[in-house]
Structure 1
Amino acid sequence: MAAPADHTTAHRTAVYLRATPERVWHALTNADESGLYWGHRNVSTWLPGAPWEHQRADDSGIADVIGIVEAVDRPHRLVTSWSPSEQPGPAGPSRVTFEIQGWRDLTRLTVSHERLADEAEVAEAARGWEAVLSNLKTYLETGHPLPQQPWTMP
């Protein structure tokens, strides 16, 4: 019997960074550092099954996104569920996979955001990930994030 059709929608993007895989991993998983370029602090123990929170970097402790760490292969792969903390989507949480691959002096970071509800969520995810990954690249390569938060650009 064939498996049921999968009607999920996804967004996938990659960025190449002049940084080691370990450095990219640290920037993604360190709460203080992620708050510098993401506008949110990624807070967790980063152990499989542990909760994680995407807390605002304004020290309010408010988590706009929550989830569970599904898989960890430090510093190469991290998988988390992803759900708005106020109103989880009707289809349940989406899933974000970070794949980190080093090669010579470069690292390719591929982000896959799966289980999105519809094309509008795919477009929103694309805008968000492009802005965050641009800011991460600038931060890791210069030591400073972009001068304005790119996700606020009209």
Structure 2
Amino acid sequence: MTAKTESTTPATAVGVQIYRVYIKATPQAIWDAITKPEWTARYGYTGYADYDLRPGGTYQVRATEGFRAGALAQGNDLPEVIIDGQVLEADPPHKLVTTFRMLMDAATAADGFTRITHEISEPRNGVCSLTLTHELDGAPHLAAILGGSYEDQGAGGGWAWVLSDLKTLLETGTAFAG
């Protein structure tokens, strides 16, 4: 997995995070794992992602009970919807572009909407690549969290961790998340 972060200064948090992971799975299996709540609740931060997969459709993530309990144990009472956004482009099972706003605390919610692109390649020898590009201009708190800067404080490893867990789940049937 590779990660690239470009930033001018921490104060402006102008940047893009790019992650690529290679997964022994079909494009459809990867697409389903990204877009179907019965899959998204099984890896990463374990939220139920609901997409209206058409341009202008909504995108929302609700925490699972396990995620909610873990956050509460750390003193963070989560709202019902922890992430929201809008579908900008959906080309199943190859490309998904959405806006993204994390609502789990006041600082990340104030960062506003950012943009995520998921691109799934056609398989070569049964292996696909999944590239996630997160445009984080003006979102310093979100960029730090999703870049894994607060992993040692219990905030998880960001996108690298989520994508690693997604790969593990699809290839082995078992996630390593919570």
TM-score bin, normalised by smaller chain: 0.7 to 0.9
Aligned to 1:4: none
TM-score, normalized by length of structure 2?
A: 0.71
Unaligned runs of 5+ in 1: 1-6, 150-154
What are the residue-to-residue correspondences of 1:1-154 with 2, within 5 Å?
8-38=14-44, 39-58=46-65, 62-85=80-103, 87=106, 88-90=109-111, 92-104=112-124, 105-117=126-138, 121-127=142-148, 128-146=158-176, 148-149=177-178
Contact persistence 2:55–2:87 (CA under 8 A): yes
What's the secondary structure of 2:121's corresponding residue? strand
Contact persistence 2:27–2:123 (CA under 8 A): no
Contact persistence 1:16–1:109 (CA under 8 A): yes
CA distance in structure 1 between the aligned counterparts of 2:62 and 2:160, rounded to whole angstroms: 20
Deviations 1:113-143 (A, max 9, x none): 1034256543322221011001101000000
What's the secondary structure of 2:41's corresponding residue? helix
Percent identity of the aligned residues? 30
TM-score, normalized by length of structure 1?
A: 0.82
CA distance in structure 2 between the aligned counterparts of 1:114 and 1:16, rounded to whole angstroms: 21
Measured after TM superposition, the shift of residue 32 of structure 1 is: 1.2
What's the secondary structure of 1:89's corresponding residue? helix
Contact persistence 2:102–2:142 (CA under 8 A): no
Aligned-residue CA RMSD (Å) = 2.2
CA distance in structure 2 between the aligned counterparts of 1:95 and 1:32, rounded to whole angstroms: 24
Question: How many residues in Structure 1 have an aligned counterpart in Structure 2?
Answer: 141
Moved more, 32-41 or 60-69: 60-69
Unaligned runs of 5+ in 2: 1-12, 69-78, 149-157
Deviations 1:73-110 (A, max 9, x none): 111100110112364335x3101110000232111000
Distance 1:119 1:64, change over 3 A: closer
CA distance in structure 1 between the aligned counterparts of 2:110 and 2:115, rounded to whole angstroms: 12
Measured after TM superposition, the shift of residue 46 of structure 1 is: 1.5
